[in-house]
Amino acid sequence: MPEPAAPVPVDLVVTADWVVPCDPAMTRIQDGAVAVKDGRIAAVGGASEILDRFAGGERIDLGNQLLMPGLVNSHTHATMSLLRGIGDDLPLQRWLFDVIFPAEAALVKPDAVYHGTLLSVAEMLTGGTTTFCDGYFFEEEAARAVVDAGARAVLGQGILDFPSPDQPEPAKARERAEAFLAAFPRGCDRVRPSLFCHAPYTCSAETLQWVKDLCREHGILFQIHLSETSKEVEDIQAQHGERPAFYLDRLGILDSMTLCAHGVWLDDAEIELLAGRDTAITHCVESTMKLAAGITPVPRMLAAGLTVGLGTDGAASNNDLDLFAEMDKAAKLHKAVSGDPTTAPAEKILAAATAGSARAMGLGAEVGSLEPGKRADLVAVDLDRPHLTPLYDPVSHLVYAVRASDVSRVWVDGKEVVRDSSLLTLEVHECMKRANGLRHTP
Ligand SMILES: [Zn+2]
């Protein structure tokens, strides 16, 4: 009889009553375990099998908890947490041009971006979001905050054709973008640079094209807001004679390294076009609802095979960065609107907030699910709560019942960053004090 194989040494084995890896089959593992080696997932499976095959390192038994991959927020503006709650209940164009842009002109400096991003990362990590996609100004500072706080992000330097906080002369936008790429912190692969054209109505064709060319040259993600309001669709059609997605395609912008936020007003032909180009959409359901921008055709996008991620957008239009709440709203809104309760099922919405968002950001091979070889970004959800008892289906709970405050522990790259629902990487009260000191005074 052959000798039983010696256990493989790993750094960490975590067992839990439930493991939901968010793999393509949306597996649910009762009495499951995850083994971690060198910051990556070594194996996922039943606890007894994993404990037989792997040994050494730290061993954590979570008991009545659920282990899942870190959620992925594929569209936000982290610094805007400093503007949470100003300009509520206004139409989008007035909110943006009368409230937000003037506030940003006064507030947004490198220091505000660093501390505003720290504040947002504190909210996201303790709420189970380990990776996010950002678009703002002074994004070198945002990168520094993400490195210090222990999260993971793709950080897009914002570009518009009119003066912005770190680009007073739009004619020098290219110089600024190149300086950003040159200054981007190296040596930490949890942060990646990106360029973020605000929208087709704030960036000329020429700007869109040089930015996309620069992204291709550097192999980085190009981000843009697309078809958030019906007005911008009408304006683009009047100006360029075609709908926004076809306009971007004519400029050569659409490919798998372009990520469009919103897509509320995309028609069927545009959805087919984006699916064919492998260009993803981030659905920001709460922001879109709050600004009454319209109903994003998510069921038609999913049916067309489009990659759909979930995002919170900035806290100034949400007003939080809670992806559990976002999943709940997305699953329910599309049922209410379609009159069909089978629309936007929990499995599809959970997939959008994990693997979908990761793929949308160009990180599909790295994060978004617990599968061997991927980064060990793990989130533990405490199930020992009245609103989570009893449990029939862990996926149902994750979408419809779990709250961000149920997150108990979080690891990024196999390193623990949240324990007992508290952040280990930052002094959160100090962070809030700094944020209060930066509050906007109109
Ligand atoms: Zn946005």
> Tell me: the pLDDT tens digits for 150-199?
999 999 999 999 898 988 999 999 999 999 999 998 889 999 999 999 99
Ligand 1 centroid–CA 271 distance in Å is 20
Task: Quote the pLDDT of residue 366.
Answer: 98
Ligand 1 centroid–CA 379 distance in Å is 26
Task: Quote the pLDDT of residue 174.
Answer: 96
Q: How many CB atoms lie within 10 A of CB 30?
A: 12
Task: Quote the pLDDT of residue 6.
Answer: 87
Terminal-residue alpha carbon distance, the chain: 79
Ligand 1 centroid–CA 284 distance in Å is 8
Task: Quote the pLDDT of residue 400.
Answer: 98
Burial of 329 (0-12, 13-18, 19+ CB in 10 A): middle
Retrieve residue 135's tokens.
């678009």
Q: Helix/strand/coil (H, E, C) string of the chain?
A: CCCCCCCEECCEEEEEEEECCCCCCCCCEEEEEEEEECCEEEEEEEHHHHHHHEECCEEEECCCEEEEECEEEEEECHHHHHHCCCCCCCCHHHHHHHHHHHHHHHHCCHHHHHHHHHHHHHHHHHCCEEEEEEEECCHHHHHHHHHHHCCEEEEEEEECCCCECCECCHHHHHHHHHHHHHHCCCCCCCEEEEEEECCCCCCCHHHHHHHHHHHHHHCCEEEEEECCCHHHHHHHHHHHCCCHHHHHHHCCCCCCCEEEEECCCCCHHHHHHHHHHCCEEEECHHHHHHCCCCCCCHHHHHHCCCCEEECCCCHHHCCCCCHHHHHHHHHHHHHHHHCCCCCCCHHHHHHHHHHHHHHHCCCCCCCCCCCCCCECCEEEEECCCHHHCCCCCHHHHHHHCCCHHHEEEEEECCEEEEECCEECCCCHHHHHHHHHHCCCCC
Ligand 1 centroid–CA 31 distance in Å is 39
Evaluate the omega torsion of the peptide bond into residue 390 and state whether it is cis, within 30 degrees of 0. Answer: yes
Ligand 1 centroid–CA 227 distance in Å is 11
Residues of the chain with pLDDT under 70: 1-3
Ligand 1 centroid–CA 77 distance in Å is 6
Burial of 82 (0-12, 13-18, 19+ CB in 10 A): buried
Task: Quote the pLDDT of residue 23.
Answer: 98
Ligand 1 centroid–CA 128 distance in Å is 21
Helices 205-218/173-183 angle, 10° precision: 20
Retrieve residue 176's tokens.
């600024």
Ligand 1 centroid–CA 199 distance in Å is 10
Ligand 1 centroid–CA 324 distance in Å is 19
One-letter amino acid identity for 415? K
Ligand 1 centroid–CA 287 distance in Å is 9
Ligand 1 centroid–CA 118 distance in Å is 18
Backbone angles phi, psi at 181, to 5 degrees: -65, -35
Cβ partners under 8 Å of residue 433, min gap 6: none
Ligand 1 centroid–CA 361 distance in Å is 15
Q: What's the CA gap between 145 and 265, in Å, rounded?
A: 34
Ligand 1 centroid–CA 222 distance in Å is 14
Ligand 1 centroid–CA 39 distance in Å is 31
Backbone angles phi, psi at 40, to 5 degrees: -120, 160
Retrieve residue 79's tokens.
């610094």
Task: Quote the pLDDT of residue 2.
Answer: 62
Ligand 1 centroid–CA 382 distance in Å is 31
Ligand 1 centroid–CA 374 distance in Å is 28
Ligand 1 centroid–CA 254 distance in Å is 18
Ligand 1 centroid–CA 160 distance in Å is 13
Ligand 1 centroid–CA 420 distance in Å is 32
Ligand 1 centroid–CA 32 distance in Å is 37
Task: Quote the pLDDT of residue 96.
Answer: 86
Q: How many CB atoms lie within 10 A of CB 420?
A: 8
Ligand 1 centroid–CA 200 distance in Å is 13
Ligand 1 centroid–CA 136 distance in Å is 9
Burial of 110 (0-12, 13-18, 19+ CB in 10 A): middle
Ligand 1 centroid–CA 313 distance in Å is 5
Ligand 1 centroid–CA 60 distance in Å is 38
Ligand 1 centroid–CA 280 distance in Å is 15
CA-to-CA separations, 37 to 40, 43, 302, in angstroms, rounded: 5, 9, 35
Please say whether the beta carbons of 6 and 31 come within 8 A. no
Ligand 1 centroid–CA 364 distance in Å is 21
- Angle, CA 129 vertex, CA 128 and CA 134 arms, to 5°: 165
Task: Quote the pLDDT of residue 436.
Answer: 95
Ligand 1 centroid–CA 135 distance in Å is 7
